[in-house]
Amino acid sequence: MKTNKIFERISENSFLKQSLNTLFLRIFGVLLLFGFTVFLTKNYTPKLVGQYDFARSYLLAAGSICMLGFDQSILYFKGYLASQNALEQLKHVYVKMVTMLFAASLLTLIIIAGIDEKRINNYFLDDEVYTLLLKSTAALFFYGLSLLNTEVLRALDKLYIAELFRNVLKYIPLIIGSIVLFYWNKETYLVDVFLIGFVFLAILSSVFVFLYFNKTALINTPQIFSKKEIFTKSYPIAISGMALFLLMCFDIMFLKKYRNDETVAFYSVGVKVMTIVSVIILTVNITVSAKIAELFSSHNMAELKKVLRNSARLIFCITFPVILLISVFSEQVLSFFGHQYAAAQQAFLILIIGQGICSLFGSAPVYLNMTGRQHIFQIILIAAVVINFVLNRFLIPIYGMTGAASAFVLSSFFWNFISAIVIYRKDRLKVFLN
């Protein structure tokens, strides 16, 4: 009877139902990534795995710059346009975003191609780094377009299609490609397959976006936002997004410089397992992000307070048991990828417990961006990036992976804590667990 009441209660609560369904898709994606990582670490050398993780980290950082914040601001524009009953304008906003994304990606490719190859290779003490960077830069537009399309699908209320792209489909080309490479004994092309996969994802997701936009009724009304206005509104979010990705990339870059590809591989596996916790936080926050923008724009503070409180409680209730379980069996979890990966246990524990502490701050990561305070969040994150850079620079040469994990946790706690304080002082709203 109690079980039936619980399911009935969930079905009646649209927010909880949507969050749990989205979480299911994300957990499935994490398990898919987990299984692929096991295959990769057991069949590919740590050096090749490290090169793949280096290219992935570079795409995160460079992609956040070229995206100009469009993947997050599209949700802001959707919330604003919904409050103005002008959702038909979203297609015009999207087309302008794609144009600017292409221009930014092309400019980045020209810059990287113009840098001296020896200078980059000598800095990282690796003759293959420049080639990795050049290939990754060539894939930037397709990478960015696939991310933007995923968020556009979310903005069009195709939440489950968006989650399929974000958590399942984006791994399929790489998984199939890596298996084929393994059986053909062509493992050295792993990074190439990884990058080509984004071309496929960009094309496929564009087809879906095109089909859904065509189903939207078009009204011949003057366009509300110009390219300049879209850029002005999005770029502060781009700085915020870039800062977040730099927080996730500095450790990999410094480990690559001061250690080796093998250390990058060991540490990155710990980071991937940590995503089990971060995906819970991200799932709930993405689910409520457009709602936050809409409620704030309509000045419905009572309902906004309720949404923030429910999201914080949901995040805590799901993350706490997961963190406890993973922490207790941390050595076994890492050894599952290969006995040598247990070397990252201490760093992994720091990461997972630190992520749990940050989860107490609920929707702080998205609130400022969704309420027009992008510039405030930008300043907070820039400060966090500086802290992260300094800590990584001095801790990694001495402590290696443990230093990288400590730098990540301390800087992440800093920006979550400061954001929560700013939100409370500005709007008297508690985003943290209460």
DSSP assignment of 327-359 equals: HHTHHHHHHTT-GGGGGGHHHHHHHHHHHHHHG
* Alpha-carbon distance values, 426 to 80, 109, 422, 423 (Å): 20, 41, 6, 5
Q: What tokens were used for 344?
A: 């990252």
Gap between the Cα atoms of 354 and 348, Å rounded: 10
Element counts in the chain: helices (H) and strands (E): 19, 0
Backbone dihedral region for residue 226 (phi beyond 0: left; psi -120 to 50: alpha; all else: beta): beta
| One pLDDT digit (tens) per residue for the chain, 434 residues | 455 555 555 555 565 666 677 767 777 877 888 888 889 988 999 889 999 999 998 998 888 888 888 887 887 788 777 777 767 778 888 889 999 999 999 999 999 999 988 888 888 888 889 999 999 999 999 999 999 999 898 888 787 888 888 888 889 999 999 999 999 999 999 999 999 999 999 999 999 998 888 876 555 555 677 777 788 777 776 776 677 778 888 899 899 889 888 899 999 888 888 877 777 777 777 777 777 887 888 877 888 888 888 888 888 888 888 889 989 998 898 988 888 888 899 999 999 999 888 888 878 778 887 787 777 888 888 899 999 999 999 999 999 999 999 999 999 999 889 988 988 888 887 877 77
Residues 162, 148 contacting (CB under 8 angstroms): no
Gap between the Cα atoms of 149 and 131, Å rounded: 28
Contacts of 386 (CB under 8 A, 6+ apart): none
* Alpha-carbon distance values, 279 to 106, 201, 244 (Å): 31, 21, 15
Gap between the Cα atoms of 359 and 431, Å rounded: 11
Residues 23, 10 contacting (CB under 8 angstroms): no
Q: What is the pLDDT of residue 1?
A: 46
DSSP 281-305: HHHHHHHHHHHHHHHHHTT-HHHHH
Q: Which of 402, 406, 401, 408 is nearest to 50 (CA)?
A: 401
* Alpha-carbon distance values, 75 to 158, 285, 288, 289 (Å): 13, 12, 10, 7
Q: What tokens were used for 302?
A: 């009572």
Residues 134, 113 contacting (CB under 8 angstroms): yes
Gap between the Cα atoms of 422 and 296, Å rounded: 16
Please state the pTM of the whole predicted model: 0.77
Residues 91, 218 contacting (CB under 8 angstroms): yes
Q: What is the pLDDT of residue 363?
A: 80
Gap between the Cα atoms of 283 and 195, Å rounded: 25
